Structure 1
Amino acid sequence: MLTVLLGLLCLPLGQRATFSALICTTLFGAAAAILVGGANIQPAHLFLAFVLATVLARRHEAAAAIRAVSFGQPGFWLLCLVVYGIGSAVLLPRLLAGGTQIVPLGASEYANTGSTVPLGPVSSNFTQSIYMLANLICFGMTVAIGSRRGGFRTIVVALLSYSAGNVLLAMLDIGTYATGTQALLNFMRNAQYTMHFDDEVNGAKRIVGSYPEASAFARATLGAFAFTGTLWLFGRNAALTGLLAVASFALVILSTSSTGLAGAPLVLLILYISMLWRTGFDPTLPFSSAAALCAPVLLIALILAVLLDDRASEIVQRYADTLIFNKSSSTSAIERSSWNSYAMQNFFDSLGLGVGLGTVRTSSFPVALLSNVGIPGTVFYLLFVTTALFGQRNAPNTIEADACIAARTACIALIIGDALAAPTVEQGLLFYALAGLACSSPRDQLASVLLAPAASGANA
């Protein structure tokens, strides 16, 4: 009711209001707007219908959405992935029935026993197909809205709002846990998932925010950190983006998720490389040049400070041992490793075709691709990512180009998180909204000053 009411309120305000609300509703990863048997329809997926209605009502945006999936465009390869995925979900579990043993993803009488079952259709063949179709629609709608500079600005503001909302909900998660009032957040934790919002590690609460578990929260926060961190390093609205970047990075570290702790150094490295590539120590960009020079020095100083302090060194070592280095010997890690082993056997048993979208559970995105949609689906995905994230469409060193680089960095951060822990091929609406922004190229109106660098020196 809340999701539908929000959609009805946003409809008269137009596509920008509905799209902004869509991005914010992706925060509620532990919520279900509708429960259909064992399937959870999340608020963002339900709200996508309102965005679709407002975008298709405008001729320019409707034409842009169609062009986004035409041959030669990134959306075409995503369309191929979705078509192959849906076809594989319908046909392959039936054509290859009993040909291999699987760890099923969907609900079945065997799904929670920890054992394997003969290959056959599962309920998640349907739900994952719906999710992938929704991802295609979200990507097309994002590209369509981003085809105008006003819409492009709306997407950026919506993503910044998402980052701020993620920080706020994490604070609420911590606050309600500390005061014993977790029940206040039950309204957004109503999905039929296994919830882990009361877990602790070495006495520290595992931060889950509005997600069902710490790894999902850390993965989403890595994306928010990469997006806001890139804009901050490029000097775009540095006060806001800097605050959000620092807060997001701190939450990733404090989440106690091995996904976040293992992914954070990689994201930091990508941010540093992006900054060097973007600025080239350009003297007209003093902030970024200073950051490029000082970052290695500060990192070395921090490492030395920890090593020289015995107590700090012991705390860091114990923390790292528990969450990273000794993680592979835990019961959870052994179980997840067995999922990947069975999934790779499914890939070979299917002769590289996969056993169908949404059929098997894994613990790594590359393994999920290969085992579920095989070589054809993996090729389509790689073509989509390559063309969407690495095809330069805006003049360099402009507001639009910087926002596209930030979206690309955020997508890579989410892929890193998925490579460490993703159970399925589906990466969520946020990933495809970021991918849509990364390949958007607005051509009308004057550039917005929202993300203009702070005036300094010659730039003033």
Structure 2
Amino acid sequence: MVASQGVADFTDQARHKVHMEALPIAIFWALAVWGGCGKPQVLLYLFFGSMSFGAFAVIPPELTGGLTLTPTPMIALLIILRSLLERGGPHFFVSQALNPRGLLLLFLFWLVATITTVLMPRVFAGEVMVIPVRLTAFTIGEPLWPSTQNFSQFCYLTISVATVFAFAWQLRSEGMRQHALRAVFFGGAIVIATGFLDWLSLYLPMDVLLEPFRTATYALLTEVEMFGGKRVVGLMPEASAFGGVSVSFLAAVYFFRPAMLPGGMQERIAPLLMAGLLLFVWLSTSSAAYVSLAVFFALAALQWGIRQFRAPTTRASKAGFWLVWGGLVAACLVLLFVPRLLDPLLDQFDTMVLQKKNTDSYEERSMWTEVSWQALWDSYGMGVGLGSTRASNFLAVLFASTGMLGALLYCGFVLRSFFRRTAEGISHNRAVLLKALPLAFAPGFASALLVGSTPDFGLFNACLFALSFAVANVSGVCMQRVSSLFVARGVPT
């Protein structure tokens, strides 16, 4: 009787868990269908809003063979599909993939990555040492063999590449670009909300609300403590992921703010979002997030100083400039007489950043990067394919996975995206946005140089690349040239 009662209780608990997990999945797909069938800007808000749910599997892993499909890639697929179904969408994809002034470098990068992933794990099987993407135990290197991770990582990169094309198509108009900027603000608000709920779990029983969104099959480090308190992870898999997404949205909100149309969101909501995001970056206690935060502050200070001294156009901007600097001087005077006020902050920064190299985690991750670099040389610069090795440095895993040729094509595409010539007569908002894009990209890139473990540049960066392409207004010229090629061959456009 006791045994049967125990089995019944376990069955009831399992059934209750399934029901709790089914509800958020149903809500997500209802929102996705609404976005797919409604106005195109709805998908933009869902796209950025979903980035805070990195531990949420929107399809039960039991149905995908253990593969975790999170919300953002699914929304990206809907945006890609919608773009391809719209009139002119397929032609846009093809024209930009073939034109040097369009997205040719990105298309060639994807093509090289595809060929490398198909061939190299088989050509160099058993001959090159790598760090497996799916780690089951500590290792200093294992022989290279084809695996299912080659396919899954190829799918993730393909979605990111196609997202650049889809967003470049969707963001052609100024109205849609303004929606995209507001969607970034919305995504930042969701980051703050999820971080607040996780922080609140320290004091209130929040498991019923949080656990249904933590269904990923990979390791979830949601209860790690540091400095006598819990690291805030929001609804991401771990603190470093939450800190990274917080810094990305912080940089985007700050640098995109001047490009928005004047209004309450720019003047009142943006400062609140920046304050909240800054707080949760600190509460994540992620060393990579702290470094990228330092990069953000350096770029913000440099941009602000140049802008204010070169063109202090308004009395408000001058007043704000001197108010902030006056506040900094006052803070320095206070700390001069009461220096111990900063001791807790300095201790935390010293432990998380300056002393990081003395930890076992740092040594292990450094070893991953070293093995991945060696895999590049052992494969004669051709790479070992997507999903074959991991590192703790984005550039290292990019070169090791796609080879010298693929990595150089990607680097060329990034430089072309953020340092391209603009069309004559460009509007003020577009000029401001073009200058803001590389600044918004830099903090996340700095973080990827410390913790990036896959060659996928990510969907957030995909949107930045597409915004740069759309704002620079090169699409019309590219499409006209490619259209003339189709017409010359008798193909209707």
Q: Same fold (TM over 0.5)?
A: yes
Q: Deviation of residue 153 (structure 1)?
A: 1.6
Distance in 2, matches of 1:245 and 1:432, equals 22
| Counterpart in the other structure of 2:445 | 415
| Counterpart in the other structure of 2:237 | 212
Q: Is the 8 A contact 2:181 2:256 kept in 1?
A: no
Output one character per residue of 1:47-88: Cα deviation in whole Å (capped at 9) or x when no partner: 233222322333255544444433224522221121211221
Q: Which amino acid aligns with 1:411?
A: F
Q: Which amino acid aligns with 1:41?
A: L
Output one character per residue of 1:364-416: Cα deviation in whole Å (capped at 9) or x when no partner: 11111122112112111111111112224365672223234333322222111
What pairs up with 1:161-180 in 2 under 5 angstroms? Answer: 161-180=186-205
Indicate the larger mover: 261-270 or 283-292: 283-292
- SS at 2:68's partner residue? strand
| Counterpart in the other structure of 2:3 | none
| Counterpart in the other structure of 2:365 | 336
| Counterpart in the other structure of 1:103 | 131
TM-score, scaled to structure 2: 0.82
Q: Which amino acid aligns with 1:70?
A: L
Q: Deviation of residue 13 (structure 1)?
A: 1.1
Distance in 1, matches of 2:308 and 2:470, equals 22
Q: Which amino acid aligns with 2:236?
A: Y
| Counterpart in the other structure of 2:295 | 266
Q: Is the 8 A contact 2:308 2:321 kept in 1?
A: no
Q: 1:364 aligns with which of 372, 390, 393?
A: 393
- SS at 1:340's partner residue? helix
Q: Deviation of residue 319 (structure 1)?
A: 0.9
Distance in 2, matches of 1:73 and 1:328, equals 43
| Counterpart in the other structure of 2:74 | 46
| Counterpart in the other structure of 2:376 | 347
2:114 maps to 1:86 = yes
| Counterpart in the other structure of 1:398 | 428
| Counterpart in the other structure of 2:216 | 191
Q: Which runs of no fewer than 5 residues in structure 1 stay unpaired? A: 444-460
Distance in 2, matches of 1:370 and 1:53, equals 30
2:461 maps to 1:431 = yes
Q: Which amino acid aligns with 2:287?
A: S
Q: Is the 8 A contact 1:263 1:417 kept in 2?
A: yes
| Counterpart in the other structure of 2:411 | 382
Q: Is the 8 A contact 2:295 2:442 kept in 1?
A: no
| Counterpart in the other structure of 1:129 | 154
| Counterpart in the other structure of 1:447 | none
Distance in 1, matches of 2:142 and 2:289, equals 32
Indicate the larger mover: 277-286 or 251-260: 277-286
Output one character per residue of 1:416-442: Cα deviation in whole Å (capped at 9) or x when no partner: 111111111113212211221123238
Q: Which amino acid aligns with 1:138?
A: T
- SS at 2:285's partner residue? coil
Q: Which amino acid aligns with 1:324?
A: V
Q: Which amino acid aligns with 1:105?
A: V
Q: Which amino acid aligns with 2:464?
A: L
Structure 1 221/188 Cα, relative in aligned 2: closer, same or farther at 3 Å? same
Structure 1 112/285 Cα, relative in aligned 2: closer, same or farther at 3 Å? farther
What is the CA RMSD across the aligned residues, in angstroms? 2.4
Structure 1 352/176 Cα, relative in aligned 2: closer, same or farther at 3 Å? same
Q: Is the 8 A contact 2:259 2:429 kept in 1?
A: no
| Counterpart in the other structure of 2:471 | 441
Output one character per residue of 1:200-226: Cα deviation in whole Å (capped at 9) or x when no partner: 111132121121111111111111111
Q: Is the 8 A contact 1:77 1:383 kept in 2?
A: yes
Indicate the larger mover: 274-283 or 190-199: 274-283
Q: Is the 8 A contact 2:417 2:468 kept in 1?
A: yes
Q: Deviation of residue 276 (structure 1)?
A: 4.4
Q: Deviation of residue 45 (structure 1)?
A: 1.6
Q: Which amino acid aligns with 1:143?
A: A
Q: Is the 8 A contact 1:259 1:420 kept in 2?
A: yes
Distance in 1, matches of 2:304 and 2:249, equals 17
Output one character per residue of 1:302-344: Cα deviation in whole Å (capped at 9) or x when no partner: 4564464343232123212221111111111111111111111
Q: Is the 8 A contact 1:156 1:403 kept in 2?
A: no
Q: Deviation of residue 20 (structure 1)?
A: 2.5
**More helix per residue:** 2
Distance in 1, matches of 2:239 and 2:296, equals 18
Indicate the larger mover: 44-53 or 327-336: 44-53
Distance in 2, matches of 1:238 and 1:392, equals 30
| Counterpart in the other structure of 1:230 | 255
Q: Is the 8 A contact 1:104 1:359 kept in 2?
A: yes
Q: Deviation of residue 255 (structure 1)?
A: 1.5
Q: Is the 8 A contact 1:226 1:406 kept in 2?
A: no
Structure 1 59/267 Cα, relative in aligned 2: closer, same or farther at 3 Å? same
**Which of these two proteins has the greater Rg computed from alpha carbons?**
2
Structure 1 397/170 Cα, relative in aligned 2: closer, same or farther at 3 Å? farther
Structure 1 303/98 Cα, relative in aligned 2: closer, same or farther at 3 Å? farther
Q: Is the 8 A contact 1:196 1:213 kept in 2?
A: yes
Q: Which runs of no fewer than 5 residues in structure 2 stay unpaired? A: 1-24, 474-493
Structure 1 382/442 Cα, relative in aligned 2: closer, same or farther at 3 Å? closer
| Counterpart in the other structure of 2:6 | none
Across the two proteins, how many residue pairs are aligned to each other?
440
Distance in 1, matches of 2:310 and 2:320, equals 10
2:165 maps to 1:143 = no
Q: Which amino acid aligns with 1:380?
A: L
| Counterpart in the other structure of 2:227 | 202
Structure 1 115/277 Cα, relative in aligned 2: closer, same or farther at 3 Å? same
Q: 2:353 aligns with which of 324, 336, 344?
A: 324
- SS at 2:98's partner residue? coil
| Counterpart in the other structure of 1:182 | 207
Q: Is the 8 A contact 1:405 1:438 kept in 2?
A: no
| Counterpart in the other structure of 2:14 | none
Structure 1 384/113 Cα, relative in aligned 2: closer, same or farther at 3 Å? same
- SS at 1:177's partner residue? coil
2:276 maps to 1:251 = no
Q: Which amino acid aligns with 2:110?
A: V
TM-score, scaled to structure 1: 0.88
Structure 1 92/279 Cα, relative in aligned 2: closer, same or farther at 3 Å? farther
Distance in 1, matches of 2:426 and 2:278, equals 27
Q: Deviation of residue 298 (structure 1)?
A: 4.7
Q: Is the 8 A contact 1:346 1:355 kept in 2?
A: yes
Q: Is the 8 A contact 1:61 1:145 kept in 2?
A: no
